[in-house]
């Protein structure tokens, strides 16, 4: 293809440019670093966790932080640090998996609607409008109560309600790109529709997609934590940050550290992801950057 | 205008119909039923119960009956709390959620707008960074973390405010603040962004060139345009504030509709679930319509497009 090398070269320079801008944003870089450390730690949790996540020490009960238990223990004598580590695995996994579901559905749907246009587009967007009116928190609660509280369903349910905005963003991008000459050129060259869609339209809409994805992850983690808090998400003895916060709330009067540490970890993660998302937006979309 | 309004309101019907259908079949086809938890129920009693609520009829028949009843605005009897109908339960519980939501909106708008406009006046100085960092904290600290922490501080440590309840005015401070905090944060960010964009416009330069005071420029000229992103956000936010306070109502034991819904879901109280979902969906639709009207009022270009 005569167009290929040119496109690649252009893409690289844009990426370099964005990376240069992102690097200057210290908060975003710090956020990215924290997230990377958290991912790394969750990957090796089974090998570095000081105890088993369900190991109880009933005689010890709830103890404040000490040398044996750095962050203290809960009422059943379970090590809080260990439970935080395992909870992080669950929370991050739900965050990434549910976001992946919403990414896949949202990008495909939005791109298809924007690309096909006309009546198909109108119909597809009508469906999105209707789903927007669905009180989705209620919907997720119904799903979790009625279909059992397992983790796969949890991220399917969250992903299923999170793709709507993504679909709208991608559709708007594709519609504006479709008017441009390079798409006309590829139509004229007789490329198939899927090829134009996946090779030419979606890669060029990647900036907003990346930004919105980064901002979806903290949202999803919040929903997971919220569901676990209501007793609808992850079930004990497994652990997730939402569940730990709920357990902490139940005993916050006597053992405040059980509420404080999980709250700090969850908030820190959400902070990092949001700062990273903001930084990426400024880096990838210079027109919206602060001046 | 009237035609636009009636067209929009007519559009509600198919949307509500689809939501009604999805919810109905979702909860009916799911395993379990409203009378599962009652262990003492003998097969005969169970049959009688099901006959009483017409749950022995074919599902399509039940669905049709529900639609007929719904078209008269009747949401049916509650399966689990038989003392009242679903309509009456909503009428009893929703005003509480509404009151809590109203206080939260006051907090969100008051704090959020003040912080956002303040930050936009001196961008990229400490007067911008400080409120924006706080706003980020407001977004990143979930309300089920903020609420208990506030209780820990103001109720259990300082003994200034009650831990929970919903009777006196003092009861309402912590729930309202907990619910409003994250919305205040979003509003602060949105109003800052909106104001920054407007303040670079030519008409603002003209206003300044005329020698108007900065106060008049900001309050009379910039605010109207700068608030558009906030108004667009308010539609879903209002519906969320008025309805989505499940957690806050649970933490502070506020007898509102959110808490009622969570209980209904746990109890598999079919009619209560259906009624609440439909009620909230209608609420979201109405608020989105109100927002579109408000946006048209704020921006003459949209107004004349209709």
pTM, entire model: 0.79
Residue B187 has pLDDT above 80, yes or no: yes
The size of the A-B interface in CB pairs under 8 A is 112
Please report residues of A whose CB lies closer than 8 A to that of B190.
Answer: none
pLDDT, position A33: 92
Please indicate whether, in this complex, the C-beta atoms of B277 and A142 are within 8 angstroms of each other.
yes
- Helix/strand number for chain B, H first, E second: 15, 0
CB contact set of B130 (below 8 Å; sequence gap of 6+): none
Coil, strand or helix at A236:
coil
Rounded to the nearest integer, the mean pLDDT of chain A is 80
pLDDT, position A290: 39
Q: Which of B26, B140, B284 sits opposite A133 (nearest CB)?
A: B284
The DSSP call for residue A235 is: P
Coil, strand or helix at A130:
helix
Residue where the block lists tokens 């750095």: A70
Q: Which of A138, A248, A256 sits opposite B261 (nearest CB)?
A: A138
pLDDT, position B39: 59
Tell which wins on pLDDT, A280 or A6: A280
The DSSP call for residue B82 is: T
Q: Nearest residue of A to residue B34 by CA position?
A: A146
pLDDT, position A149: 67
| Mean pLDDT confidence for A133-153 | 76
Residue A8 has pLDDT above 70, yes or no: no
Q: Which two tokens stand for residue B29?
A: 């086809």
| A56 Rama sector, left if φ>0, alpha if ψ -120 to 50, beta otherwise | beta
pLDDT, position A277: 84
| Mean pLDDT confidence for B259-268 | 84
CA-based nearest distance B210→chain A, Å: 25
| Mean pLDDT confidence for B257-283 | 86
Q: Alpha-carbon distance A221 to A231, whole Å? A: 15
CA-based nearest distance A136→chain B, Å: 9
Coil, strand or helix at A274:
helix
Rounded to two decimals, the ipTM of the complex is 0.73
pLDDT, position B50: 72
Which among B254, B262, B234, B258 is positioned nearest to B245, based on CA atoms?
B258
Tell which wins on pLDDT, A77 or B302: A77
Q: Which residues 201-240 in chain B show a CB within 8 A of chain A?
A: 239-240
pLDDT, position A36: 92
Q: Which two tokens stand for residue B298?
A: 């704020």
Q: Alpha-carbon distance A222 to A91, whole Å? A: 9
pLDDT, position A286: 55
Residue B67 has pLDDT above 60, yes or no: yes
The CA-based angle B290-B112-B226, given to 5 degrees, is 60
| Mean pLDDT confidence for B166-190 | 86
Q: B59 falls in which pLDDT band (50, 70, 90)?
A: confident
Q: A7 falls in which pLDDT band (50, 70, 90)?
A: very low
Q: Which two tokens stand for residue A22?
A: 């992102």
What's B240-298 look like in SS3?
A: HHHHCCHHHHHHCCCCCHHHHHHHHHHHCCHHHHHHHHHHHHHHHHHHHHHHHHHHHHH
Q: Which of B123, B139, B243 sits opposite A290 (nearest CB)?
A: B123
| Mean pLDDT confidence for A127-151 | 77
Tell me if the bond preceding A141 is cis, omega within 30° of 0: no
pLDDT, position B168: 77
Q: Alpha-carbon distance B190 to A116, whole Å? A: 33
**Range from A64-73, B43-52, B111-120 that averages highest in pLDDT:** B111-120
pLDDT, position B60: 82
Q: Which residue in A128, A140, A145 has the most chain B C-beta atoms within 10 A of its own C-beta, making it the best mutation to test that interface?
A: A145
Give the dihedral sign, CA B56/B58/B63/B65: negative
pLDDT, position A1: 43
Q: Say what the alpha-carbon torsion angle A75, A78, A84, A89 is, to the nearest 10 degrees.
A: -130
Residue A10 has pLDDT above 80, yes or no: no
| Mean pLDDT confidence for A220-236 | 82
pLDDT, position A13: 63
Q: Which of B144, B151, B266 sits opposite A145 (nearest CB)?
A: B266
Please indicate whether, in this complex, the C-beta atoms of B265 and A141 are within 8 angstroms of each other.
yes
Tell which wins on pLDDT, A35 or B2: A35
């Amino acid at each position: 293809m005569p167009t290929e090398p040119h496109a690649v070269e252009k893409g690289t320079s844009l990426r370099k440019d964005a990376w240069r801008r992102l690097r200057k944003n210290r908060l975003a870089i710090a956020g990215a670093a924290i997230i990377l450390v958290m991912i790394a730690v969750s990957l090796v949790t089974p090998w570095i966790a000081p105890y088993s996540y369900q190991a109880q020490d009933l005689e010890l009960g709830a103890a404040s932080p000490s040398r044996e238990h750095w962050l203290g223990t809960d009422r059943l004598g379970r090590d809080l640090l260990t439970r935080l580590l395992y909870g992080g695995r669950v929370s991050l996994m739900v965050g990434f998996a549910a976001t992946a579901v919403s990414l896949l559905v949202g990008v495909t749907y939005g791109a298809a609607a924007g690309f096909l246009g006309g009546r198909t587009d109108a119909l597809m967007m009508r469906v999105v409008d209707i789903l927007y009116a669905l009180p989705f928190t209620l919907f997720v609660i119904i799903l979790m109560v009625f279909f059992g509280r397992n983790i796969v369903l949890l991220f399917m349910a969250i992903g299923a309600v999170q793709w709507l905005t993504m679909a709208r963003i991608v559709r708007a991008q594709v519609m504006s790109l479709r008017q441009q000459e390079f798409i006309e050129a590829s139509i004229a060259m007789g490329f198939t529709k899927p090829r134009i869609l996946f090779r030419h339209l979606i890669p060029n809409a990647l900036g907003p997609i990346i930004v919105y994805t980064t901002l979806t992850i903290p949202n999803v983690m919040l929903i997971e934590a919220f569901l676990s808090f209501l007793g609808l998400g992850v079930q004990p003895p497994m652990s997730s940050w939402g569940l730990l916060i709920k357990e902490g709330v139940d005993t916050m009067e006597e053992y405040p550290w059980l509420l404080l540490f999980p709250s700090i970890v969850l908030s820190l993660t959400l902070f990092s992801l949001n700062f990273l998302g903001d930084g990426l937006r400024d880096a990838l979309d210079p027109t919206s950057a602060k001046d | 205008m009237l035609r636009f309004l009636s067209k929009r309101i007519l559009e509600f019907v198919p949307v509500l119909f689809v939501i009604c259908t999805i919810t109905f079949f979702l909860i009916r086809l799911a395993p379990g039923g409203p009378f599962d938890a009652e262990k003492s129920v003998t097969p005969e009693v169970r049959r009688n119960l099901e006959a009483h609520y017409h749950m022995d009829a074919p599902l399509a028949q039940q669905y049709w009956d529900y639609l007929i009843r719904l078209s008269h605005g009747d949401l049916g009897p509650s399966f689990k709390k038989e003392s009242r109908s679903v309509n009456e339960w909503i009428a009893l519980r929703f005003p509480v959620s509404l009151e809590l939501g109203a206080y939260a909106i006051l907090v969100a708008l008051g704090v959020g707008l003040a912080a956002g406009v303040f930050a936009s006046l001196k961008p990229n100085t400490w007067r911008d960074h400080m409120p924006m960092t706080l706003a980020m904290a407001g977004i990143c600290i979930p309300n089920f973390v903020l609420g208990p922490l506030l209780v820990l501080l103001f109720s259990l440590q300082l003994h200034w405010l009650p831990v929970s309840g919903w009777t006196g005015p003092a009861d309402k401070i912590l729930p309202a603040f907990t619910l409003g905090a994250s919305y205040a944060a979003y509003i602060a960010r949105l109003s800052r962004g909106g104001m920054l964009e407007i303040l670079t416009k030519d008409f603002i330069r003209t206003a300044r060139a005329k020698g108007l005071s900065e106060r008049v420029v900001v309050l009379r000229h910039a605010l109207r345009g700068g608030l558009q992103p906030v108004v667009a956000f308010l539609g879903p936010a209002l519906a969320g504030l008025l309805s989505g306070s499940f957690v806050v109502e649970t933490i502070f034991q506020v007898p509102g509709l959110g808490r009622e819904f969570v209980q209904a879901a746990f109890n598999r109280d079919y009619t209560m679930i259906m009624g609440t979902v439909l009620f909230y969906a209608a609420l979201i639709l109405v608020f989105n319509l109100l927002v579109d009207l408000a946006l048209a009022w704020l921006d003459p270009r949209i107004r004349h497009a209709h």
